[in-house]
Amino acid sequence: MVHSKAVRDALLSHVRSSWPDRRHDDFRWVRGPVEEVLQYFSVRRVAPLSTGDGYLYLSVGAFDVGEEPMREFFIMSSAESPRHVETLAMVAHYHSSPRHRLTHGSVLNIGRPWAEDSDKSHLLVSWPYSLDARSAVCTVGGKGITYLWLIPISVKEANFAKQVGVERLEERLEDSGVDLLDPLRVSTVR
């Protein structure tokens, strides 16, 4: 068994090598209980290369829940904000409970907008469609850790996913052409 700190270090190296030309910054969220259950938890922010690209906020340490498949999470945003660090800490802490393991298709109500002035207060846990396949999975000690994308969605989109299905919502989001990084985007469900 590979030690948690070694896995965390491997994830940080993986993220660095996945986006080598970008600025990387690390953050810890100390206000909530995440560090009580995930000792090595942090968030890596990867800055965009150019205007129009988004920031990546990636969890590092959510894998350490003692079960497989191992998961990490990421948020993409058009703007820097400590809110994304807090959101990832909240999601990782939620995921650490055996009753709340997150996987593709999970929908979370985060109890507040995901970004300033947004009305999107839910997150859809999705496959990492927006990442290169090599960046989306880190292999450590022969085991894969997959990054899942936290897509901000509206209450109506969350209800649609629960009633009609996640696959249909993902198709709807893709077909609509909406900018998922735009905090003010219109809901694809009216």
pLDDT tens digits for range 41-51: 999 999 999 87
- Phi/psi class of residue 111: alpha, beta or left (left: φ > 0; alpha: ψ in -120 to 50)? left
pTM passes above 0.75 = yes
Query: Are residues 59 and 74 in contact, defined by beta-carbon separation less than 8 angstroms?
Result: yes
Helix (H, G, I), strand (E, B) or coil at 57: strand
pLDDT higher for 68 or 27?
27
User: What was the pLDDT predicted at 51?
Assistant: 78
Question: In this structure, which amino acid lies at residue 9?
Answer: D
The secondary structure of residue 6, as a DSSP letter, is: H
Find, among 88, 47, 65, 91, the residue nearest to 7 by Cα: 65
Residues 137-145: contacts with CB within 8 Å, 24+ apart? 138/10, 138/11, 138/14, 138/15, 138/72, 140/2, 140/6, 140/7, 140/10, 140/11, 141/1, 141/2, 141/7, 143/2, 143/68, 143/70, 144/69, 144/70, 145/7, 145/11, 145/63, 145/70, 145/71, 145/72
Report whether the peptide linkage leading into residue 69 is cis, meaning its omega lies within 30 degrees of zero.
Answer: yes
pLDDT tens digits for range 103-120: 999 999 999 999 999 999
**First vs last C-alpha separation in the chain:** 49
The secondary structure of residue 98, as a DSSP letter, is: G
User: What was the pLDDT predicted at 2?
Assistant: 59
Question: Looking at the chain, which runs of residues are DSSP E strands?
Answer: 24-27, 42-46, 55-60, 70-77, 107-109, 122-126, 137-140, 143-153
